Amino acid sequence: MPSSLLWAVDVYGRVYSLSTAGQQWEQCRDAHLEFKRVTAVQQCCWGIACDHNIYLNVHASDLRIRFQEETYENQRWNPVDGFSDRLLPSDRWQWSDITGLKHQPLDSFRLPSENWEWEADWHVDENFGGEPTEKGGWTYAIDFPATYTKDKKWNSCVRRRRWIRYRRYKSCDTWAKIPSEQTCSLPDPFNDISCGGWDITEEPRGRLSLWAVSLQGKVWFRDGIHHLNPEGSAWEEVSTPGEVVQISCGPADLVWAVLWEGQLLVREGIGRDNPKGNSWLVVESPSPEVGAIHVAVGSNVVWAVTKDHKIWFRRGVNSHNPRGSGWIGMVGEMVMINVGLNDQVWAISREDRAVYFRQGVTASELSGKAWKAVSVPRDSDRSHSSASTSSLHSAGCFFGGEVRLQSQNSVLSDVDSDTERVSAGAPPAPEPADVPKPRIPKVTSDSFISELVSDREGQIGRREVPPVAPGSSIPEEEQTEGEAEDKGEQVAGLSSSRSGGLDPQWSNVDLQEEQAQPAAPPAADAADTCSLSSVATYNLEEPYGADEHPLWAWVSGGGCAIDSHSQLNWFNSTGLNSSVPSMSLSITPAQTAAWRRQIFEQLNERSKREMENFKHYEQAVEQSVWVKKGTMQWWRDWKPHKWVDVQFALEQFSGPEGNKDGILFIYYTFNDEKKYLHVFLNEVTILVPVLNDFKHTFAIYTAERTKQRWPIRLAAATELEMHDWLALLSVSCCDSRGIQGPPSKQAIWSITCKGDIFVSEPTPSLEASPYPTPCDQMFWRQVGGHLRIIECNSLGVVWGIGYDHTAWVYTGGYGGGFFQGLASSTDNIYTQTDVKSVYIYENQRWNPVTGYTNRGLPTDRYMWSDASGLQECTKANTKPPSPNWTWVSDWAIDYGVPGGTDREGWQYAADFPASYHGHKTLKDFVRRRRWARKCKLTTTGPWQEVPPISLSDITILPCGPKSTVEQVPLWAISNKGDVLCRLGVTSLTPAGSSWLHVGTDQPFKSISIGGVHQVWAIARDGSAFYRGSVSAQNPAGDCWYHIPSPARQKLKQVSVGRTSVYVVDENGNLWYRQGVTPSYPQGSSWEHISNNVRKVSVGPLDQVWIIADKVQGSHSLSCGTVCRRLGVQPVEPKGQSWDYGIGGGWDHVTVRANAMEAPRISMPSLTDNANNRTAPRSPAPVRNQPEMNGNALGS
Amino acid sequence: MADDKDVLRDVWFGRIPTCFTLHQDEITEREAEPFYLLLPRVSYLTLVTDKVKKHFLKVMKPEDVEEMWFEYEGTPLKWHYPIGVLFDLHASNTALPWSVTVHFKNFPERDLLHCPSNSVIEAHFMSSIKEADALKHKGQVINDMQKKDHKQLWMGLQNDKFDQFWAMNRKLMEYPMEEGGFRYIPFRIYQTTSDRPFIQKLFRSVSSEGQPHTLGDLLKEMFPAAICQDDEPKRYQVLIHGIEPMLETPIQWLSEHLSHPDNFLHVSIIPSPSD
């Protein structure tokens, strides 16, 4: 899991973040001003600074935020000038938007705020519907508005072209001020802010909701925040039944607020089309006497704090019932509480102002188990050299009336930086004498809150606020002045200088109230006034380093991605020694190398010394047969097919060479006669787990069974039993083939439609010609983890992409998942998670009386079904794909269905089954909509996440086994369609260091890099592009060349080998690029090779492997079959026919690491010829000797 | 890079070539040929010498045969120590094969335990495992196992089935991540120079400061003389499975990887060869 940040504000208004991977609070160095509150999400953090402005800190990413502006240039033909910009009076503007209704000349485009910059100048978009126009981007039509074509015809009277320009968000990793509204009246100063809403829908736009509360108790909603517009566009007021003091917005559709009077508000009607919601619902405070002061919501939880600091958990909250059913009191006394990702809970305790984490919060136990204090030190070496510069107001300015004029100080420094220098005893900073301290400034939010409260006093007479505020602020000032004498004293001294009281360290306003009337419970009114000031007032003169534990005012876990499994190093800090050496036996190879290497070497020596010369001695213990038995169910080979109970036995023995082998027996009864079926383990080619929700099954294939497309299918009684058997069988099969340890660098990887990962060791004869090893004889073994795509090259760089688009890099291990103990490596197996959606369809038929209803014709499909309509799938009976998956969301309408939907998610058609469209026509009698529910898998495998950018495709330069490529070119497509180039990838650092964004004018979906850095890519509109001038020196190339697609085909995927370029289109056709030469790498035309192809992978020797649909076996038909092109030769790169391997149910294969050439054997004349011909065609040095990873092969 | 798993295999499959000769005082009908055998280092003498017994019984009269015992250069060999420990302790730095003398009478009651059957070895082995687990996990892991799991451990050792043994033994080698290791390290330090059979004390895997303990830390506490100063010549060899791990090696790692099947880390300290 990548590291993410927990944000907090201390009582001085300083903002800190704590990384899930870190062990100390890092001060946000950029913050020149103090903050009242922050609210974080994963990609950014919002804050209210003490200058009343809202600031946004967008975390920098390798992928910049770019917004494409577009405008259209329109022209009309006239006989005199030809096409010219002289339009008819009735025509559209010469420069307009796409509809022609809005006048928008190029110079009318302005940057939305000073946080943006232009990337380049305006340019013409040459791409038209996936095809290059080659005519300056002009598209022609008879008249406006009409259908445009790229070809000029005799009747083309008008034409237009699209101009585009990018602007870039530049204020990343810094607190950027959100420009205040010019138009309407500015809301009064904001008092609370809460960000969330990213889970309301699955929209790719990355929408966020930001709610704010002003000091007058009004609620505001920030409109238009999405990933291309992080700042949002405008504030909209949301009317409320009362005055709100605090608000909390969850990741999904929960928004709760607290009223001044202590009741709570629940927002109803929040949804995809209405993130603002409709109306408020009032919920009474948990405790009848004491009002609520704080509320925090997550996806499915609501927590609240009442004015007596008690904490409450709301029962029964979910998206259908945002209101919940009742309150449960929880242990602990907190001043505020915050719910982060995965409904994890953070709080600040009343007693010691420490940040607490709620332990044990899981989806099934949302209330968690216990509070645990986060005790990590803060970074103490704060350099304040940068404190001067910025034009941002410093905190001092806000309180400037009292403090001093910052502008007079040439060194514009925060107050606390000065004090720190003093306290640290360091040589005085420049002009220390100039630091005027006429009065002790109070730079905490609550001092200004008290001011504001007094403001309210004056202005708003109608509120029934007792005149506490002015009273409370006066003693504060006295106190602080008194403390000025103790300058330099530490906290202890400070607290001792205060009179006893409940908690003398806390000069909190309400505490003072309590001190004043210790016997009486805090009167509701008084508490009301002070409830906002959950922040203590502190004297800034207090030396920084002195406070042993930080005093926190606010915490936000909205960006902190942890769950109950996360390993955190936050809780057992050992005082001064902040860097606890993590007790790990394999900390880093470097640290352990010496002693470990010695043990390995000595054991080797020992074996030589004690055993080498004595091999002829008899063994004291003879090896015997070892049998493991069990009962299972077997899917009978003959009709009627059904599950029958069988006895299952594995007999293992030592083979003649000392290698282990085994036989698998399946004993069954047929017609009262006992029979058995057996399989030699060394003939098993693959073991495939086929977990589903009702049976724990797995399939055993041999070469013969692969030909039949009919494996042996077995079902174990429990999942555990199945995994035990699979692990044992897998180890035994590997033993019998002498395979152990990690896969070699040349390995061929494949992935099933269940996300299971398999790897096969290629042999030189696999690519032999003319008689290669048939690929149904390949042995595949499983590697832990769950992926959708995997790519590799022969230098051992392997990357994968999960269903949730997370990028993973291979760690060099093996095992994981259900492989435990000996079948798994130890130190490079990590937790891996994946999230995918399960879809079901709601089907309706129209009838003249009632319109669309869920009453279908008797012949219709189920009203709730799978995509095919054949299987009934209701919301209630649909389970996650296997017991390993757990639901992590509720059912929600999916609007992202191909073909589009209406506002309610419906797609219409004339009848089932048919092609659906997103709007209703008169001819439509049926409709359907898709519901999606997310489920999550947690497993282990040799994979480490490469945060933070989500990917949809990836490619790695294929190279010869001995080629020395210092930086391995690796390209990827982000799940938003950006093209990325990974820097710093080497065989030692396969994860690389950072992404380089390669600009495109449209989103892309597939990419592949070939032998001599030819980069080909497919855009989302199905067009192909070639990237020019990519080389080791210029890893990102310089420009894209648009390659026309095969006629009327939208391309889907591309793979480039040494020289061959293959693409697959959306109709399953495989195309070969003709005429690719070193001088003209774009090639000339497409040649059709095959249909029924789902995916293609071209290897470093130009091998062509595909995932094919509809492969007929002798017993059954399979879809998703791994196939290999036979007869591929340097002179015959298209090959001749297909060789069918493992499948069906396969989704992905990559042979891009297999640079193992066929051995030079047999038919010398032919081979010599082939080699002679190979030489000029192979730009990449390819060697005959395969390079193996340590102990990958051989026993 | 080689994997730690390979260490487990190397340890398990360690063999000592041994030449068994019948003691000259034994009465035989004809001359007894020596018997050569590869003994598993991690097993027990009486468990793996059925063939030896059979071999010599062929030349002996039944009435001359009492309980079989072994001796090396005058020292009776304790069957309840693992074979590797016996070899390291008494015979390392000597020429191979290891020459062991076989006796069938004059059982040295004061030095050796009787071993009438394999069930005695099993009882000894299982009690060692339980003792080790008591040190490592307060006995929780071994107590949670079923009878058949215990049997699997024993059968694995008896039949030299590495996979069978480790499929179960790995559970005994687990520990909570946050504790950084076992509660106490089960170890025994053997030496030839003292009358004490062996040193066994409580020793934690991690120091009170949270630092992982090393082999050096263990020796410093248990047998300081084994740690030689820079300037003086090496006086002792510290052998585990016939090798001398570096003193920097974490004791937890050693316990996980170089323990015998009885889950104890057996350390032999012998005087350095003077050559």
Q: Which residue of A has its CA nearest to B87?
A: A610
Residue A532, pLDDT score: 39
Residues of chain B with Cβ-Cβ distance to A599 below 8 Å are 7, 243, 245, 249, 257-258
Partners of B75 in beta bridges: B72
Amino acid letter, residue A744 = S
Residues of chain B with Cβ-Cβ distance to A619 below 8 Å are 15, 37-38, 160
Residue A623, pLDDT score: 66
Of the ranges A29-43, A599-613, A1174-1188, the best mean pLDDT one: A599-613
Of the ranges A183-197, A877-891, A1063-1077, A1112-1126, the best mean pLDDT one: A1063-1077
Partners of A327 in beta bridges: A314
Identify how many contiguous H helices and E strands chain B contains and give both numbers: 9, 8
Size of interface A-B (CB pairs under 8 A): 132
Residue A480, pLDDT score: 38
pLDDT at residue A296 is higher than 80: yes
Amino acid letter, residue A277 = G
Do the domains A739-829+942-1158 and A35-63+174-351 match in fold?
yes
**Rounded Cα distance, A1165 and A992, in Å:** 45
pLDDT at residue A1187 is higher than 80: no
Q: Is B38 near chain A, with CB under 8 Å?
A: yes
Residue A1053, pLDDT score: 95
Question: Could you tell me where the DSSP H helices lie in A462-541?
Answer: 469-484, 491-497, 509-516, 524-530
Residues of chain A with Cβ-Cβ distance to B40 below 8 Å are 620-621
**Rounded Cα distance, B17 and A620, in Å:** 10
Substitution target from B15, B152, B173 for chain A, most A beta carbons within 10 A: B15
Q: Which 3 state secondary structure label does DSSP give A524? A: helix
Do the domains B128-269 and B15-103 match in fold?
yes
How far apart, in Å, do the first and last CA atoms of chain B sit?
35
Residue A366, pLDDT score: 87
Which candidate from B160, B163, B210 shows the least CB-CB separation from A583? B210
Min Cα–Cα distance to chain B from A873, Å:
41
Q: Among A5-19, A554-568, A726-740, A1178-1192, whose mean pLDDT is lowest?
A: A1178-1192
Min Cα–Cα distance to chain A from B254, Å:
10
- CB pair distance less than 8 Å for B244 and A624: no
Min Cα–Cα distance to chain B from A500, Å:
37
Return the HEC string of A155-201. Answer: CCCEEEEEEEEEEEECCECCCEECCCCCCCCCCCCEEEEEEECCCCC
pLDDT at residue A1083 is higher than 80: yes
Give percent of chain A above pLDDT 90: 24
Residue A926, pLDDT score: 86
Which candidate from A567, A598, A624 shows the least CB-CB separation from B177? A567
For the domain made up of B128-269, give the CATH fold. Ubiquitin-like (UB roll) (3.10.20)
Sheet holding A5-10, edge to edge: A25-27, A15-19, A5-10, A552-556
pLDDT in tens, A929-980: 999 999 999 899 999 999 888 899 999 999 876 667 788 999 999 988 899 9
pLDDT at residue A518 is higher than 80: no
Q: Is B96 near chain A, with CB under 8 Å?
A: yes
- CB pair distance less than 8 Å for A600 and B7: yes
Residues of chain A with Cβ-Cβ distance to B16 below 8 Å are 610
Q: Is B84 near chain A, with CB under 8 Å?
A: no
- CB pair distance less than 8 Å for B161 and A614: no
pLDDT at residue A864 is higher than 80: yes
Output B169 or A853, whichever has higher pLDDT: B169
pLDDT band at A363 (very low <50, low <70, confident <90, very high): confident
pLDDT in tens, A456-498: 443 433 444 344 434 333 333 334 333 434 444 443 333 333 4
Which candidate from B1, B241, B246 shows the least CB-CB separation from A595? B246
**Mean of the pLDDT values across residues A516-522?**
39
**Mean of the pLDDT values across residues A26-51?**
85
- CB pair distance less than 8 Å for A610 and B159: no
Residues of chain A with Cβ-Cβ distance to B165 below 8 Å are none
Q: Which CATH superfamily is domain A739-829+942-1158 in?
A: YVTN repeat-like/Quinoprotein amine dehydrogenase (2.130.10.10)
Average pLDDT, chain A: 77
Q: Which of B104, B87, B103 is nearest to B38 (CA)?
A: B87
Residues of chain A with Cβ-Cβ distance to B1 below 8 Å are 589, 1190
Give the B window 254-273 contacts with A, CB below 8 Å.
256-258
Q: Calculate the alpha carbon distances from A225 to A36, A198, A321 in Å.
A: 22, 10, 26
Which candidate from B40, B97, B256 shows the least CB-CB separation from A621? B40
- CB pair distance less than 8 Å for A827 and B4: yes
Q: Is B211 near chain A, with CB under 8 Å?
A: yes
Q: Which residue of B has its CA nearest to A592?
A: B249
pLDDT at residue A537 is higher than 50: no
Which candidate from B16, B241, B248 shows the least CB-CB separation from A595? B248
CATH of A35-63+174-351, one of 3.30.379.10, 2.130.10.30, 3.90.226.10, 3.90.1150.110: 2.130.10.30
**Rounded Cα distance, A1072 and A1049, in Å:** 14
Residues of chain B with Cβ-Cβ distance to A1195 below 8 Å are none
Q: Is B160 near chain A, with CB under 8 Å?
A: yes
pLDDT at residue B171 is higher than 60: yes
Match 């269940």 to its residue by tokens: A754
Q: Which residue of A has its CA nearest to B253?
A: A585
Q: Which 3 state secondary structure label does DSSP give A415? A: helix
Residue A1173, pLDDT score: 39
- CB pair distance less than 8 Å for A614 and B96: yes
Q: Among A60-69, A494-503, A798-807, A1158-1167, whose mean pLDDT is lowest?
A: A494-503
pLDDT band at A1177 (very low <50, low <70, confident <90, very high): very low
Residue A698, pLDDT score: 92
Q: Among A389-403, A619-633, B35-49, whose mean pLDDT is lowest?
A: A389-403
Q: Which residue of B has its CA nearest to A573?
A: B210
| Burial of residue A107 (number of CB atoms within 10 Å: 0-12, 13-18, 19+) | exposed
Substitution target from B243, B258, B259 for chain A, most A beta carbons within 10 A: B243
- CB pair distance less than 8 Å for B1 and A1190: yes
Residue A654, pLDDT score: 67
Min Cα–Cα distance to chain A from B170, Å:
6
Q: Which residue of B has its CA nearest to A586?
A: B253
- CB pair distance less than 8 Å for B38 and A580: no
Contact A189, A214 (CB under 8 A): yes
Average pLDDT, chain B: 88
- CB pair distance less than 8 Å for A610 and B48: no
In this predicted complex, what is the ipTM?
Answer: 0.92
pLDDT at residue A690 is higher than 70: yes
Residue A137, pLDDT score: 83
Q: Which residue of A has its CA nearest to B44?
A: A620
pLDDT at residue A380 is higher than 90: no
Residue A877, pLDDT score: 87
Q: Which residue of A has its CA nearest to B174?
A: A821
Handedness of CA B154, B159, B165, B166 (dihedral sign): positive
Residue B20, pLDDT score: 93
Q: Which residue of B has its CA nearest to A597?
A: B2
pLDDT in tens, A629-669: 889 999 988 888 889 999 988 887 765 555 677 888 899 88
Min Cα–Cα distance to chain B from A1, Å:
17
Residue A403, pLDDT score: 34
**Mean of the pLDDT values across residues B158-164?**
84
In degrees and rounded to multiples of 5, residue A756 shows phi and psi of: -75, 145
pLDDT band at A428 (very low <50, low <70, confident <90, very high): very low
| Burial of residue A887 (number of CB atoms within 10 Å: 0-12, 13-18, 19+) | middle
pTM higher than 0.80 for the full model? no
Min Cα–Cα distance to chain B from A568, Å:
10
- CB pair distance less than 8 Å for A603 and B11: yes
Of the ranges A72-81, A1009-1018, A1128-1137, the best mean pLDDT one: A1009-1018
- CB pair distance less than 8 Å for A821 and B170: yes
Min Cα–Cα distance to chain A from B131, Å:
23
pLDDT at residue B174 is higher than 60: yes
Class of domain B15-103: alpha beta
pLDDT at residue B265 is higher than 60: yes
pLDDT band at B145 (very low <50, low <70, confident <90, very high): confident
In degrees and rounded to multiples of 5, residue B17 shows phi and psi of: -70, 125
Q: Domain extents for chain B?
A: 15-103, 128-269
Min Cα–Cα distance to chain B from A759, Å:
19
Q: Is B208 near chain A, with CB under 8 Å?
A: no
- CB pair distance less than 8 Å for A620 and B51: yes
Sheet holding A660-670, edge to edge: A673-680, A660-670, A643-654, A626-635, A712-716, A696-702, A684-691
- CB pair distance less than 8 Å for A595 and B249: yes
pLDDT band at A187 (very low <50, low <70, confident <90, very high): low
- Structure token pair of residue A419: 């004090």
Q: Is B49 near chain A, with CB under 8 Å?
A: yes
pLDDT in tens, A49-65: 888 888 999 988 878 88
Which candidate from B161, B210, B256 shows the least CB-CB separation from A580? B210
Which candidate from A607, A626, A825 shows the least CB-CB separation from B10? A607
Q: Is B34 near chain A, with CB under 8 Å?
A: no
pLDDT band at A203 (very low <50, low <70, confident <90, very high): low
Q: Which residue of B has its CA nearest to A727?
A: B167
